[in-house]
Amino acid sequence: MNRFRELLETKKNSFSLKSTTKSVLFILMIGLIIRLVLAPFTGNEYDITYWASFIGDMESGYLLYGAGSLWYPPIWGYLTAGIGYLLNLLGAVPLDVLLLGIHDTTIIEAGRYAMTVPIFNLAIKLPLIISDLIVGWLIYKFIMDKTNDEKKAKVGLMLWLFCPLTIYMSAIHCQFETLCVLFMIISLLLMFRGSYFFAGVALSISIITKVFPILLLPLICVYILFVKRNDLRYGFKSLLTMIAGFMIVSLFIMLPVIMNGELHEVFNFLTSRVAVPPNVMGDELNISDILKTYSTIVSISIVGIVTLISSYILFRTHEDYNSVFLKMTLVIMVSFFIMPFSNFLPQYYVMLIPLLALITALYKNLISIWAAISLITTVLCLCYINWMYPIGLTGLVDMDSMIMWVKGNHPVIITLSHAMEFIYHFIGIGTFVILWIKLGITSFIKTVCAKQ
């Protein structure tokens, strides 16, 4: 009889598992459909043109950084070059008509920008869209494994998947922060499961994709070293394993760049954010440019200090080790945006979204922060970027009237974008303060000091 009951229980569980899987698949499918609908007919006029130009440059025989159309670390370049080659091989897109010139229109002053065709927009965004889905699934699975609470897991999944900023970045703008997020999350989750080699591999990919997770290195080192308080040897061994994974893959990714003397180009996007802009065309240096540059430099210093404090808090923590680690990860990432008027773009805030989703679902309700960040940054992006050009290709929308609604050409948009920009500058410090209060960082510090 007992055996029968057990069997019945198992059947019931497997049935509920199937229905759970179905509902998660349904959510993922909705996320996918939203992105697939938006992807072909939208794109940041500046970035997506660069990706198409970059493919053209590879066809011309340039190396990764030869033509100046890539100023990010090499991963996105490799990926784009591969996609371009496959598209050409399949004959799906005649690559040279990717760029539909708009030289003859009145849209762009410099006449250098172009529209990219829908199939290209879709193809180039596909890895980003898939990345969004995998991140969503990982968040869901991690929360499920930790809490066995489906509701919480779905909240986490939806906070990531339906975040306007996430959708905007992968399906509209076509920036690759989501890849950085994907491998950062993989790295953290593998680390929690003790798979240090592959955690190192994923961390390497994440950092070489867009550098930001480099801020977490001290915290990660502390986490691994003291994950077993009574066994420091295990900590050292684990750390060395992770470093091995990190180094091997870093070498694999960077070797061709190093061999061809292009290493100095790899972090152009980062160094340019902290460089004083040159005095072009004899104009006086703009005060806002100077402010941005020095704000950025101060931001980096603040991150250093916050990282040290957070690492120390983690080091002194004996209970809820993973929970404190995740919270400190978020605190460090937010501290990056603390300075108003820095040079950091709204898209960088995507890095915070999965951490906010995880912490909200697992530990503390941070929905207000999530909502503020995702709305302000997304509206700001939509106001400032001509993301609708490819729609013009369909002939359904008149190009001139479309332009009225973007890039600050319409009075309503001008007011909205100025308001959003002003708020945007203070969103970092605001988030940091709220996080400090909500996560009870002061009490953390007090506890740590008391223990000492």
**Exactly one of 14, 106, 230, 401 binds other proteins (CB under 8 A); which one?**
106
Q: Does 373 bind other proteins (CB under 8 A)?
A: no
Closest Cα to residue 388, out of 400, 406, 376?
Answer: 406
Residue 301 is a binding residue for other proteins (CB under 8 A): no
- Site residues for other proteins, 66-85, by CB under 8 A, read 66-68, 75, 77-82, 84-85
Answer for which of 36, 71, 126, 141 binds other proteins (CB under 8 A) is: 141
Going by C-alpha positions, the residue among 434, 452, 442, 436 that lies closest to residue 369 is 434
DSSP 283: P
Structure tokens given for 430: 């605001």
Residue 144 CB, nearest distance to other proteins (Å)?
Answer: 9
Q: In degrees to the nearest 10, what's the CA dihedral of 261, 264, 265, 266?
A: 100
Options 15, 26, 46, 252; binder of other proteins; rule CB under 8 A:
252
Which one among 159, 172, 181, 201 touches other proteins, defined by CB under 8 A? 201
3-state secondary structure 71-106: CCCHHHHHHHHHHHHHHHHHCCCCHHHCEEECCCCC
Tokens 């400190």 sit on residue: 328
**Rounded-to-integer distance, Cα 444 and Cα 317, Å:** 9
261 touches other proteins (CB under 8 A): no
Among 9, 96, 289, 400, binds other proteins (CB under 8 A): 96
d(CA 338, CA 361): 24
Pairing status of strand 99-101 against strand 114-116: antiparallel
Nearer to other proteins, 203 or 313 (CB): 203
| 134 vs 375 by CB, closer to other proteins | 134
Count of residues in contact with other proteins, rule CB under 8 A: 69
Q: Is 26 in the site for other proteins (CB under 8 A)?
A: no
Which one of residues 91, 449, 450, 451 is an interface residue with other proteins (CB under 8 A)?
Answer: 91
248 binds other proteins (CB under 8 A): no
Name the residue type at position 399: M
Binding part of the chain for other proteins, among 5-13, 104-112, 159-167, 370-378 by CB under 8 A, reads 104-112
Contact 47, 386 (CB under 8 A): no
CA atoms in the 13 A half-sphere facing the CB of 182: 20
Question: What residues line the site for other proteins (CB under 8 A)?
Answer: 53, 56-64, 66-68, 75, 77-82, 84-86, 88-89, 91, 94-97, 99, 101, 103-106, 109-111, 114, 127, 134, 137-138, 141-142, 145, 182-183, 186, 189-190, 193, 195, 198, 201-202, 205, 249, 252-253, 256, 259-260, 278-282
